[in-house]
Structure 1
């Protein structure tokens, strides 16, 4: 995945490469390689799935990925296109707000695949 990204980096970091595509091309395969059942191959019912993936490209107020173990959310991931600055305070607050809204999740990842930022939202 890294070699693929580096090979065509100019394309992937351009404004023409959208968030939805980075999720399909890089983030889904990345988390799958880490052992997460992104596609629900185990065919678990919605309340038992390991990963809840937000499919809507529109702003929904929900994180892009909700990672769970035994039905309990452990962390959220908010994805952005590589052309978007991850140090933008609005993106950071957006990601942290998902954890703040639960009071049960304390970690959130903000990523564009090129960079992964882990935030402690308990602070």
Structure 2
């Protein structure tokens, strides 16, 4: 059974239930369609640890502990929710630098990073 995790933005967690990500996972649609023929388990649904502004202090140590736990429990793929990209002044979306660094760390640990869930 393939173990999957979903990582979303801490700021978004203030007003998002995660239902879109969970529905896509449960129905194996959108970015989860690649697992249509596989048995999967949602092993973790986690938030980043903030991006360093006053309301959301960056807790790099806490995030590293969460990521290392994903390795320990055998997660094979982490899907980055669409909320991990933010719009700039021109309306174009760019991945948060904390998320980019997080994705690089996960890949170094042998975990596949997929950019997308239900968007």
Q: Do these two structures clear the TM 0.5 threshold for a shared fold by scoring above it?
A: no
**TM-score, length-normalised on structure 2?**
0.40
More helix by share: 2
Q: Which has the higher contact order (CA 8 A, sep 6+)?
A: 2
